[in-house]
Structures are given as C-alpha cells and as structure tokens.
Amino acid sequence: MDACTRAPRAVLLNYPYRYKRLERHRAYKNDQARSRFAKAPVISTKHKPEHSAPSIPAASGRIERRQWWLSSSSIIVTLLLTAGIVLIALPMMIPGVSNFYSISTSIGIRGLIGVVLLFDLYVLFQQLTIHRFRKRLAEREELFRLISENAADMIALVDVSGRRIYNSPSYVTILGYSQEELADTSSFEQIHPDDHRKVMEAALETRRTGEGRRIEYRIRHKDGRWLTLESTASAVKNDAGDVEKLVVVNRDITERKLLEEQLSLSQKLEAVGRLSGGIAHDFNNLLGVIIGYAEAIQQRMSPPDPMREAVDEIQTAGNRAAALTQQLLAFSRKQVLEPKVLDANAVLSDVEKMLRRLIGEDIELQISLSRHLGRVKADRSQLEQVILNLAVNARDAMQQGGKLRIETRNAQLTEADRTRFRYVVPGQYVLIKVTDTGCGMDAALQSHIFEPFFTTKEKGKGTGLGLATVYGVIKQSGGYIWVDSEVGKGTEFKIYLPLAEDVAEESSDSQEPSSAAAAQSAATILLVEDEESLRKLTRTTLKSQGYTVLEARDAATALAVAAKSEAPIDLLLTDVVMPGMSGRALAEKLGALRPDMKILYMSGYPDGAIVTHGVLNPGMFILRKPFTRDVLLRRVEESLAQKFANADRRS
C-alpha cells in the first residue's frame, strides 16, 4: 500500500485517540472551574474583590458560550462524518477511484462509529453541564424571588437619575401603591418636601464615594399619611468603576419613632413626677397651714373690714397653688384616685351648667349623650376636671366664637387599632369625644401638647399643665386619649375609657340617725401629724366641733398615747409619710389593738403607702392635702358616721 493510501487511514485511526485526550483535558479544566465557582465567597457589590463568585449574568454568559461551542463542535463532527462516509463510499460508487487509494470498509465504519459515540458522549457531558448551570441559575433566581417577595424591608433598584428599575413587593404592602403606579413615578415624588434635600444629598454622596450612609425620611402612603423610613443605599458600579445604579433598602420605622416619642414623654413624666412628689408632701403641709389660717381669719372678719380683701387674696393664692400641685401630681400620675363605677352621661350632665358659664355666650355648646352608654370606673372629680380642661382648651382656640360639641358612645378598639398603636388593648370602651371649631393645630404642635409646661398662650395666661393633667388622669385610669386636628378646621379629642361591668355606685346622701350624730360629736380622735403648725390648726378645728383630740407628732408617740388612753379611740387621723414608721404601719398596729377604730389618712403624696398604681386600696379613706376646714370636717363626719351606723345596726 502506498503512502497516499496509508495517510487517510492514519488520520482516521488516530483521530479518536486525539479527540479523547482533548476531551479529558477540557473536562479537567471544567472541573477546576466548577471547583473555583463552588468555593468562591459570596460578596456584595459594595466592596468587590478581584476573585469573586460569578454573578448571574456571568453564569448566563458561560452557558451561552458552552452552547455555541457545542453547536460548532456538532458542525465539525458532522463534516468529519460526511467526509468519512464519502471516503468509504467513493470507491464503491466510482470504480476508477480505487486505483488511487483503498480503504478497509470495516475499519472505516468502526472509525465513524467511534467518532459518533465520542461525539454523543461529548454532547451528553455538555448537556449535563448546561443543565447544572441552568438549575443553579434557577435556584439563585428562586432564592432572589423568595428574598425580595418575603422581605419586610422595601428593596429598590434605581438608576442615577432616581428612576425606579425594580421595586420589591413590600412596596405595595407598606405604601399601598401598585407596581404600575410606582413604575410611572420618580422615587422622589412621594418623599416629604422637607426631606427632599436630605435624600438628594445622601444619593449624591453615594454616587460620589460609592459608600452609602443611613438616613431617615418621610414618605407619603397612598392614603395620604406620612410614614418614616430608615434608608441605606449601596452603589452598583460598571466595569469602568462608575456608579450606574443604587440598591436602596428602606425600613418602615414609623411605629418605632412613635414608641420613641412615647418613651421620651414617659421619661419627662417620670422626671416631673419625682420633682412633684418630692415637694408635694412639705409644700402641701405649708399650703394647708396658709389656707387654714386664712379661713380662720376670714370667719372673724366682717366684709367691710379693710384687711378682708388681703386675706381673701391670700386664700385665693393658696388655693391656686394647691391646684397647681394637684395638676403636677395628676400629670405625673402620682395623685391618689378613688375610682368608682360611674355613668359618664351623668357626670357630663352635672358639669353642663358649669361648662356653659366657663366657655361664655359666644360659643355654642352641644352635648350628645348615648342612650345605652356603658359604665366606666374612674375618679369622678378627676373625670370632671378632664372635661373642664378640654373645654377651656377649646374656648381659648375659639377667640371669635364657635361651636363646642361633646358626645358619648360605646366604642370598640380592635387589632387594627393595635396595629397603629402597639400599646392599645383591644376591647370594649366608652368614648368621650370633644370637638371644637377653633384654629386647629399642625402636626408639630400636636406632638407637644401633652408635654408639661408647654403652652401657646401668652406669658402669664397659662401654666402649660391643662392638657398634661388630662393626659395623666386618662392614663392613670387605664384609658387612652388621641387628638386629631388641622389648621383652620378645629380639633377633636377622643377619650377611651375601659368599659366596667359593675353597676354604677351612687353616693349616699342619707342622714344618720340623731343618736349617731350625737355620738359623733363626742368622739375621740387620735391626730398624728409631723408638721407642728398643721397639727395645731387641725386640732383647733376639730376641738371647735366638740371632738376630743389626742395628738402625736410621730408614730412612736401615737402608740404611747394610745397605750395610756383608757377611753376608746373612735378615729385615727394620721399623716401617711412621716419620719420613722409610716402612717400605714401605724394604722395596722393600732388597728390590731383597737379593731373598732376607724382610720382616715391625710396625704398629698402617699408615695405608694396606701395606693396601688395611684388607686386607693379598698376599704381605705383619704383626706387630700391641702384641705379646707369644711373638707376636713366632712371627711371626719363621713368616717365616724360609718362607725356609729354599724354600731346602731348591731344594737
């Protein structure tokens, strides 16, 4: 066989072996590439190292290249197979060709079959590799979809001009806009005008430095309300290193900001409470002396007396100072409440006449009371004070006259309300709504109205404690107060008080039998007070009514006086906060020795001794300092009346 005949055969016989070597080398390279791909760390676009895991576009490019290589290989193998078939078939079809070369048909067919088999293996390998890449790509796309669709934060991709390229589904959930509405608008259109500059500066800084910083700004919900977002941006750079896109992650912190404001208000409340509680005890003792002796002088002076006006002013100033102290205690929730089950409609009906005198004739008063209103458990005097304070606030907002409307109805707070205000406990409530047509308030003013000493009135015309007192009383009663106002459209206060299932407690005005009244006037009272001047004044007032008074400056002295007294002690009138043993401890000790003795506490700031969360413990009675002569005698009579009424029933 000549050289021309052997050469094609050598090519056909050696090709499968060379092809296998090429394939083994390519498979080795592919295994190395896959190993590097699997071990490569996942990094963010913010800091991109030189060696990183291929991105989704890079993986797609590799798949495309493999598909092109497979197609090219198919064409080459097809051409080779065609050439082989021609070489085998040509001598059979053209007899003269066999003079130039000859080929073994069996060897040629085997060679062609080998090429086909190798090509099939190559195709299977490439298809398997492509399948793995596509599966990995699909998994990454599914992972991205799960993250973007289920993330609570809002994730957006915007270009350098602020145009939205992608918005995660949480935008629809949180802001209420559809994807189409978001796609048709710029990312700056919903941002609060006051925050535009801050957002623009942060975006420019990210483009310039490639580093994003955290900012807070307000964005408009579809229903018109403003949400507060915490935003962080990351730069996406192109191959040239220029920033071409921004990945923005926004978190809704509206509720968190509200809780922060409430915490700030609570801290102020605690600070004022400590201040007011610290001075209330001694200050109320002094005020009690001033008011008491001013009353005593008034009783001995005739109206024409030239000094009567001065004494009247002293008493008026003392009463104003006492009211101011009570407002401080009310705001800080340090006052003592005596809650009873009340009909809010009855309370409003009782204060209606006072309200009409208070607001003046140029303001129209409308009161709308629900016929089937539930009961509430609250301190009646404090609830009246809340209504009066809100009425005064409304009057001051309507300098040119207007309309004040007060209405009551049953209401229910649901989980939807709890979503807006986390502190809300869903359930049944009684709603008291106070609405005026005054000047209204903007959002900035509304955020401060319940703060102590905050006022918009002229200097000397307001203490800044009216609404603060309202807030403290309602909170201490377990309720909520919300305000809704707009400049030029008036203000609406909503008070929610928990519904009470008990029957309303009616105050008893029935007179005790004459025998009980006679026994009261001869009663023996043990007076315990560490402030000497107040103790003297109280002793004088009680003795003037025929009571027998035993006095002591502290608990130890009181125990000694009680031990020496052979006569029964009908009433223990004691201060709560005293040096050494407290009034509560004294009452417990003496009560064990004299079980028939009634107890009346005196205090302007009990400091938790006889109260729980500001509410007087059951079975206890308190005389709030500073007190007037009439209040002192009435509370003593009420305490003794119960004792002697029980004695009459037993007899």
The DSSP bridge pattern shows strands 598-603 and 571-575 to be: parallel
pLDDT band at 97 (very low <50, low <70, confident <90, very high): low
421-448 average pLDDT score = 88
Instruction: Report long-range pairs for 252-256 (Cβ below 8 Å, ≥24 apart).
Output: 252/154, 252/174, 252/227, 252/228, 253/216, 253/228, 253/229, 254/227, 254/228, 255/422
pLDDT at 205: 84
622-640 average pLDDT score = 87
pLDDT at 572: 92
338-347 average pLDDT score = 86
**Whole-number Å distance between alpha carbons of 65 and 33:** 14
pLDDT, mean over the chain: 77
With tokens 């106002």, the residue in question is 485
Under 8 Å CB-to-CB from 420, ≥6 apart: which residues?
A: none
pLDDT for residue 508 is more than 50: no
CATH class belonging to 339-500: alpha beta
Q: Could you tell me which residue, 505 or 5, shows the higher pLDDT?
A: 505
pLDDT band at 403 (very low <50, low <70, confident <90, very high): very high
Q: Could you tell me which residue, 514 or 81, shows the higher pLDDT?
A: 81
Is 151-252 assigned to CATH 3.30.420.10? no
82-100 average pLDDT score = 69
Q: Could you tell me which residue, 249 or 84, shows the higher pLDDT?
A: 249
CATH number of 514-650: 3.40.50.2300
Judged by average pLDDT, the poorest of 321-325, 412-416, 462-466 is 462-466
pLDDT for residue 33 is more than 50: no
Residue ranges covered by each domain of the chain:
3-148, 151-252, 339-500, 514-650
pLDDT band at 611 (very low <50, low <70, confident <90, very high): low
Query: Residue 137: how many CA atoms within 13 Å on its side-chain side?
Result: 17
pLDDT at 46: 38
pTM (global) more than 0.75: no
pLDDT for residue 511 is more than 50: no
pLDDT for residue 355 is more than 80: yes
Alpha-helical segments (H) within 440-503: 443-446, 466-476
580-590 average pLDDT score = 88
Tell me the CA distances in angstroms from 509 to 371, 382, 506, one per residue in order. Answer: 26, 21, 9
pLDDT band at 650 (very low <50, low <70, confident <90, very high): low
Tokens standing for residue 609: 């001794």
